[in-house]
A and B are shown apart, each in its own frame.
Chain A
Amino acid sequence: MTVSAMEEVARLAGTIENDSVKRWKDGGGKVLGYACITTPPEVIDAAGLLPYRVRALGNANTEIADAHLARFNCSFCRSCLQLGLDGTYDFLDGLVETNGCDHLRGMFENWQYVSPSPFFHYVKVPHLATEDAVRYFEEELRLFREAIEGYFDVVITDDALRDAMKRQEDIRDRLRTVYRMREGAQPSFTGAEALAIFLVASAVPYDDFIELADRVVEEREGTSVPRPRARLMLCGAATDELELIREMEGVGGLVVADGLCYGARAFWSSADLAAEPIGALAGLYLGEMLCPRMYTDFPRRRDFVLEAVERAAVDGVIVMHNKFCDVHGVDNVQLRLDLEKRDIPVLQLEKEYGSKADVGRVRTRVQAFLERIGDTA
């Protein structure tokens, strides 16, 4: 029986150590884990290593992690830590920490304290994108490059970095194509499918992804998913929960755009491929970063959402955060207030990551929101 490209995506997206990673490892390849959109995978890729974005895929069991992180820490980080400590991530040859948020820092510190990774490097990311801060970050990226070179005994030339930047741009380009096909009047993908494609993009080698993404696009070109009751945009905290989006879409909403860090925020902008590579990466990953951890950039984040609302003809926006996530918890309030001022329907939602207990509540809230928006079909 022939497996469709989208089914292949679903299979790869639903597993942490997927077949593609296993093949890479079997061939002697090394894998470096990172968690946050402030980390440039280009530097890892340029060293011939596979950059793998840590995810928890809705894992609700945090038994081991709870002995280290507290119940007052975000359940996404606790879920990732659980997988780090229970052996699921043993295929990683190293970890890259960034100070994305307080919870993430705690997750990395506990992971490293309990189960030290052979290679561990901390990329320190400023919270402002001033000229000084970008220069500091450039130096951080140089140190990151040196650390990888030193440990893995490789040389990362500027040319290798440029090639890696081109490869990442290809990946971004494929993702933007998928997102454009989802945003159109006749969306070719559901929100859950788009998230699955995104998850694969940051968990398999470049060649595997490009081949699969092209097949997926070809397969879906000219097709459309069933017409929804309302077109939704989903914004907020780290969300790699395919099941959650399926639940939202199961009651009649269709996520046609997002402002998620496991989503559009991670790939919407491009690096300047003609510029000096480290400077270009610093400009992209700090200067262009769309994350509430950046304390003076709210207007830019809001405008990103407003543009997507316009472009994708969004009927309503769901701003969501995992319980105890401060950066999104507060940013979502600012965003909600600004969207309401423009008469854009908005649902502010707090949830526990991966919790089955929350699914029914979320479904009810989304159903009520869809009723508030009114049927658009």
Chain B
Amino acid sequence: MSDVGTGLFDRVHGLFSVIESLPDSMSDEEVAGLMGVLPPDSRRSLTAMLVPRLREGSLAFMRMLATWLNEAAGAPLEGRKSVLVPFCFPPELLHCFDNSFPLTSEVLSSLAVIALEGQGERYYDMALGLGLPDHICSANAVEVGSMLGCDDFRPQAIVSAAAGSCDINCKTHELVSNYHDIPLFILEKPVDETERGREQYQKNFNTLVRNLEEFLGEELTEDKLRATCEKVNAANLLLMELWDLHKAVPDPVPNLFSLYTYGTRFSMWGTDPAIECMRTLVDVSKRRLEAGEYPAEREVARCLLTYTSYYFDLAGLFNWMEERGYTYLGDGLDFLFPEIIDTTSRESMLEGLAVEARNMPMTRQVGGNSMSMCWLEDALFAARDLKADCAIYSGHHSCKQTWSVSSILRAELMNRANVPMLSLQGDSWLKRTTPMSVIQDEIEEFIKNVVLPKRAGRRKVRRRVPVEDA
């Protein structure tokens, strides 16, 4: 086990160096033994991840993450530069370079919340201790708080790709850049879906590539691009396959695989470990489909989460839902819509990567010319394609851009697809805002009182009688 410091990265890396040593398949007794040595918060998450139906996929996911963390930790020793990126940036661009390695802010925050004792809240408090307001996004603040408040791992550069789609994401990274004097590269997505907007985005993307080449002192050659893009394509095909598997009734893909899918997408896309992890998720789901396995007696409701999820209690949300027959079809971060990259030339690959970047979650929806309509378009597609009975907006309190148009999404999902949407309120990463028991109660009431009666045709819409007719 590596020396464990007090910073988020060091602690997460230390924990994953233990997880990495776990065998490929574990018996229930071995799992129970492992849980005995873990602190309570880590134990709770790992218990949820290592239930028998999830174990193989979970171990594949954790091994992929362990490789990611090891490479990040080792990067500086090998003369590679670590670059902090947001989840809405395709990490494969940095995997294309020999001299760089991507570290994803939100993935690190999520790992702290899921795996560390104290669930990363101490780092969030460090960010607030600096005077940052309590409405900043915990997805960034947990990780960034560690960088601002601890002697933690520091990246050599930051790429910010949320300009146009999330103010707080961009502002937080700007602050870290100024505070620690770390170079900041911005990839702006114009809020413009016209041809001109696309051309401008490609220009911005090409500028970023040139800036990275200069910063890293390395030319991004056609060979390097091709080696990574081929792996991106392989992973994209598996991603498409997994999406299709979700269409089966009952859904054979375990609820937590949604998180594993984008956890992989946001960290190691374009590498072999990502392909291996995705292949395992697909294989497990296929076997479950063939065996007709589903965690509950029957699939009660197919739920599409329209944006983020809740990550502070995996058992309390993902496993609780599927054990009651509430399928988690995926959430807004699964709105990935991958396209196969044309690998014939350097130019075609840069174009393909720019398309990947433009299609990243959040960028594609609320970074569009209309936040509500671009988001609605994807949510509608997913709801119809995956045969959703209902939608749930988790209402992460810091997502001001989605909050500002969620009422339109709710109305239009109902108008156009007859899909009712539940709006929750909470913090996706911090348990202190809304307890999981409250979230469970609200989901339960929504499904019992709205979704099921509606599906059975019993729910009548009460129309208000105009005053003059009353």
Interface residues of A (CB under 8 A from B): 67-70, 72-74, 77, 99, 101-103, 105-107, 109-110, 113, 122, 124, 126-128, 130, 132-133, 136, 139, 292-293, 295-296, 298, 321, 323-324, 326-327, 329-334, 336-337, 348, 350
Contacts and interface: CB of A to CB of B under 8 A. Distances in A.
Contact of B163 (A103, A127, A132): A127
B252 to A, nearest CB: 36
Contacts of B370: 109
Given A72-B397, A99-B191, A330-B172, A296 B135 contact: no
A132 B171 contact: no
B135 A329 contact: yes
B221 interface: no
Given A68-B407, A326-B167, A102 B136 contact: no
B45 to A, nearest CB: 27
A106 B188 contact: no
Which 6 interchain pairs have the tightest Cβ spacing? A106-B404, A102-B401, A330-B171, A70-B403, A326-B168, A329-B133
A324 B188 CA distance: 23
A350 to B, nearest CB: 6
A127 B404 contact: no
A283 B131 CA distance: 34
A139 B133 contact: no
Interface stretch (B90-98, B102-110, B199-207, B230-238): B199-207
A127 B164 contact: yes
A99 to B, nearest CB: 5
| B contact residues, range | 35 or more
A327 B169 CA distance: 10
B400 A73 contact: yes
A295 B170 contact: yes
B167 A110 contact: no
B73 interface: no
Contacts of A101: 167
B37 interface: no
Given A127-B164, A330-B175, A336-B131, A133 B400 contact: no
Contact of A110 (B164, B172, B408): B408
Interface of B: 130-133, 135-136, 160, 163-164, 166-168, 170-172, 174-175, 178-179, 184, 186, 188, 190-192, 196-197, 200, 203-204, 207, 366, 369-372, 395, 397-401, 403-408
Contact of A109 (B164, B174, B408): B408
A255 to B, nearest CB: 22
B262 to A, nearest CB: 22
B135 A72 contact: yes
A72 B184 contact: no
Contacts of B371: 102, 105-106, 109
Contact of B186 (A109, A292, A296): A296
A320 to B, nearest CB: 12
B404 A126 contact: no
A120 to B, nearest CB: 11
A102 B400 contact: yes
A333 B395 CA distance: 26
Contacts of B130: 333, 337
A304 to B, nearest CB: 16
16 contacts: A70-B403, A101-B167, A102-B166, A103-B404, A106-B400, A106-B404, A127-B164, A132-B200, A133-B188, A136-B190, A295-B184, A296-B184, A326-B135, A329-B132, A330-B133, A333-B132
Nearest to B199: A136
Contacts of A332: 131
A329 B172 CA distance: 10
A192 to B, nearest CB: 26
A292 to B, nearest CB: 7
A161 to B, nearest CB: 22
Contact of B405 (A109, A128, A293, A298): A109
B284 to A, nearest CB: 37
Contacts of B405: 106, 109-110
Most buried by A among B164, B174, B196, B197: B174
Contacts of A321: 133
Contacts of A298: 174, 178
A113 B404 CA distance: 12
Contact of A122 (B132, B170, B369, B404): B369
A351 to B, nearest CB: 11
Contacts of B170: 127, 295
A127 B350 CA distance: 23
A221 to B, nearest CB: 41
Given A99-B164, A99-B191, A326 B404 contact: no
A124 B133 contact: no
B407 A348 contact: no
A72 B131 contact: no
B131 A348 contact: yes
Nearest to B160: A295
B195 to A, nearest CB: 12
B126 to A, nearest CB: 13
Given A70-B407, A102-B371, A330-B175, 16 more contacts: A69-B404, A69-B407, A73-B404, A101-B167, A102-B366, A102-B404, A113-B372, A124-B197, A127-B164, A295-B186, A326-B136, A327-B167, A330-B132, A330-B133, A336-B131, A337-B131
Given A127-B164, A295-B163, A333-B130, A326 B400 contact: yes
